[in-house]
Amino acid sequence: MTRFTAKRLPRQTGPAGWNAILPPQTPLPELDQDLTADITIVGGGFAGLSAARRLHQLDPSLKIVLLEAGRFAEGSAGRNSGFMIDLPHDLASDNYAGDGLDADRAMIALNRQAIAFATDIAAECELPQEAFDPCGKFNVAATRGGDANNRDFAAHLNRLGEPHTLYDRQQIQQITGSPHYTSGLYAPGTVMIQPAAYTRALSSRLAGQVNLFEQSPVTGFEQQGTGWLVNTPKARVATGRIVLANNGHIESFGFFPRQLMHICLYASLSEPLRADQIKALGGQPRWAVTPADPMGTSVRRVSGSYGDRILIRTCSSFHPTIETSQMRLRNAGWVHDRKFRERFPNLPGVQMEHRWAGMLCLSRNGSSAFGELESGVYSACCQNGLGIARGTLQGMGIAELIQKGGSEIADHFLAQPDLPRLPPEPFASLGANSYLIWKEWRSGKE
């Protein structure tokens, strides 16, 4: 009998700050009674929730069960920086430009399908602008090298025919209030989300259409007749098909061994700024910047019902165990404080209220872990760091593959080359962590 057992389950380090600043939410139930389903989805991040929505759209009569190990918005879906990006965003590049004009055009069109899907969700859920804001983003530079990256990326966008605007030092300071930046490249297509608010809203919306369970980790699954039996600590689901939408933890079931790179990112969110601090900072009440060097520091200013706050996101580390440590989180926090002081000398004394870590999953060649792995077992994992748009897209695509036998989205992911293997341990960890440290050091003030 074919059986897959989870070697490990997700463990989070630090609070999911975006979720912590929202009012408490009534938990959804735990799975505590055996059920039957047509399709069982494992994981309630962007991919899993989007798969559930798309499956329900395609066939409202389907009995769908979604099992989330923790609480919605407590995993990476509630721990990211909230950039739902339409343009090429190759984190391994020097300036984000992607794989060539045709490949980039195709990826942009697909990312925009994901953004349109999310825009419908935001409208149905009546998400306010503070949670779903189609405001675009800036690539900001702080050095001459960064300025050159921005100019290179602008030239790439020109070739793609994508609208963008270059801002000089004074103009970017008028927006951010920060004297740190020397130039900015604005592109209008990114949607900035409050990721926990979005994830909560989507899960609440789906709760009437799909059987959603929180605190219900899948510990294993085994073949049973023509279907599968999915195990959780308290009960089981007899199901026709399974969608694994648990990102890097797909490896915990034994799939894609040594093909996935488990990277941890770290973020800090400030306490709410006081009126005098807001005045001292100046600039606009909401903006979002990614660094001109992809390994630099992303910063966001948010304002709304949860106060006027600043997010700092930088530092990364590689963990084959899919979890980091409190010590690494503390060390990242020191770096965040330094980056904050460099950017906001006009905000002395502002403290960070929440600090957290979160995992994401990359492959060496940028391919995803997508498709049918075993008869009736599907994967929509490995978002290569861009999981808000790409996780949404993979969720849509896997639903279309199951229900329609294929689609433009599914075909895109199915056509990607196989995921290459990583070197054995400890070489993979040593190599990856040295590379990350070098890239972060090289990004300097960016």
CA separation, residue 376 to residues 42, 232, 239, 344 (Å): 13, 19, 9, 53
Among 46, 167, 221, 306, binds ligand FAD (CB under 6 A): 46
Binding to ligand FAD (CB under 6 A): which residues in 303-362?
A: 313, 358, 360
Peptide bond into 426 cis (omega under 30): yes
- The smaller minimum CB distance to ligand FAD, of residues 146 and 385, is found at 385
**One symbol per residue from 65 to 84: x for binding ligand FAD (CB under 6 A), - otherwise; what is it?**
--xxxx----xxx-xxxxx-
- The smaller minimum CB distance to ligand FAD, of residues 277 and 287, is found at 287
Q: Which two tokens stand for residue 235?
A: 């009960």
Establish if 383 lies at the interface with ligand FAD (CB under 6 A): yes
Q: Which stretch binds ligand FAD (CB under 6 A): 45-53, 54-62, 166-174, 433-441?
A: 45-53
Task: Classify each residue of 198-223 as buried b or exposed e, where b means 16 or more C-beta atoms within 10 Å of its C-beta.
Answer: bbbbbbeebeeebbbbbbbbbbebeb
CB-based contact 110:368 (threshold 8 Å): no
Q: What is the chain's alpha carbon radius of gyration, rounded to the nearest angstrom?
A: 21
State the nearest-atom distance from the C-beta of 160 to ligand FAD, in Å: 20
Of 55, 97, 51, 95, the C-alpha closest to 77 is 51
State the nearest-atom distance from the C-beta of 78 to ligand FAD, in Å: 8
Helix (H) or strand (E) holding 196: helix 195-206
State the nearest-atom distance from the C-beta of 275 to ligand FAD, in Å: 29
Establish if 10 lies at the interface with ligand FAD (CB under 6 A): yes
Phi/psi at 366 (5° precision): 80, 0
Q: In what order do the strands lie in the sheet with 191-193?
A: 83-84, 191-193, 132-133
State the nearest-atom distance from the C-beta of 163 to ligand FAD, in Å: 21
Q: Which two tokens stand for residue 248?
A: 């890097």
Binding to ligand FAD (CB under 6 A): which residues in 243-282?
A: 245-247, 249, 265, 267
Q: Which stretch binds ligand FAD (CB under 6 A): 6-14, 57-65, 278-286, 415-423?
A: 6-14
Chain residues in the site for ligand FAD (CB under 6 A): 6, 9-10, 42-48, 67-70, 75-77, 79-83, 217-218, 245-247, 249, 265, 267, 313, 358, 360, 381, 383, 385-389, 391
